[in-house]
Structure 1
Amino acid sequence: MDAQVAPLLERIDARERELGTAAEQLRTQIDELTARLRELDEEIENLAVTRKTLLALPPSAPGPTEEPPTLPTHPAYQQILDTFAETHGAKRARDLCQALDLPLTPKSIESTRHKLKRLVSLGVLAETEPGLFVQRRP
């Protein structure tokens, strides 16, 4: 073997060992991250099942002192409720903007979403999944 080639082969061997070690460390990290991802996916699935179960429960009977929620006075809230009454099923903020002939701009969609969230907080609507709203049944 040539005296000039031997040092190069040693450097190649050393670099191969370094890369092998780095690759093995990355494989270990990938395994750990894959396990963590699996745990998070299971937790997300459990939360979805819990949400679905809670939404399927019959509403509790209102107490004698429970009064209906006071709706905001702005006419947009009544328009939203009228749209839910006219067309059954779940709706997104964008769907309501279309139904109400509002411009489909981020500002109007976000404003409608805010109103929907307010109606959820008042107990008039329910959010069955993020961004999807339905009318609560009395």
Structure 2
Amino acid sequence: MSDNPQIRDVLAYVEARENELGEQAGQLRASIEDLTARLGELDAETENLRITRKTLLNIPAPKPADDPPRPEAPDHPAYQQILAAFTDTGRPMRARDIYQVLDLPILPKHTEGIRSKLKRLVTRGILTEPEPGLFTQPRT
């Protein structure tokens, strides 16, 4: 070392400053290592999310559940009139009620004909019979 006191003071300052800067650089390197590790974790999670999104977008949409086929009513106009009467009133009815809704004369032989048509519609699942002689449309 130099014998000059001024140079010694300057060298001591330079050495102290060098140590201080080395310590700060070490802290920054440690911070950089921490940040690099955190950045790697974030990149990995981002990649996982991209893969998840891609996977979800490639899943085919579920096919809609097929509704059970609706039973078909016979083509005869009498059946169409009976069903129209149920649709218009929206309430359970007996054979006599159908005649009143359709504004037809109530005759015993006709009432039995309507009753048999109503029973046929029950058999096909178009109407239900919650109690004997009372007919209604099934709830959907």
Could you state the TM-score of these two structures normalised by the residue count of structure 2? Answer: 0.50
User: 74, 83, 91: which one pairs with 1:89?
Assistant: 91
Is residue 83–residue 99 contact of structure 1 (8 Å, CA) maintained in 2? yes
Q: 1:91 to 1:65 in 2, by over 3 A?
A: closer
Q: Name the CA distance, whole Å, in 2 between partners of 1:116 and 1:80.
A: 8
Kindly indicate whether residue 126 of structure 2 is the aligned counterpart of residue 130 of structure 1: no
Is residue 102–residue 108 contact of structure 1 (8 Å, CA) maintained in 2? no
Q: Provide the residue aligned with 2:108 in structure 1.
A: 106
Question: Aligned to 1:127, what secondary structure does the other structure show?
Answer: strand
Paired amino acid for 1:115 = K
Q: Name the CA distance, whole Å, in 1 between partners of 2:86 and 2:75.
A: 18
Paired amino acid for 2:93 = K
Q: 1:91 to 1:64 in 2, by over 3 A?
A: same
Deviations 1:89-137 (A, max 9, x none): 1100000011112221111111111111111011111001000011112
If you compute each CA radius of gyration, which structure gives the higher value, 1 or 2?
A: 2
Could you state the TM-score of these two structures normalised by the residue count of structure 1? Answer: 0.51
User: 72, 77, 80: which one pairs with 1:78?
Assistant: 80
CA-CA distance at 1:65 after TM superposition:
7.7
Is residue 72–residue 126 contact of structure 2 (8 Å, CA) maintained in 1? no
Is residue 77–residue 115 contact of structure 1 (8 Å, CA) maintained in 2? yes
Q: Provide the residue aligned with 1:68 in structure 2.
A: 70
Is residue 119–residue 125 contact of structure 1 (8 Å, CA) maintained in 2? yes
Q: Name the CA distance, whole Å, in 2 between partners of 1:117 and 1:66.
A: 21
- Once the two structures are aligned, what percentage of the paired residues are identical? 54
Paired amino acid for 2:80 = Q
Structure 2 residue runs of 5 or longer lacking an equivalent are 1-64
RMSD: 1.6
Deviates more, 1:67-76 or 1:120-129: 67-76
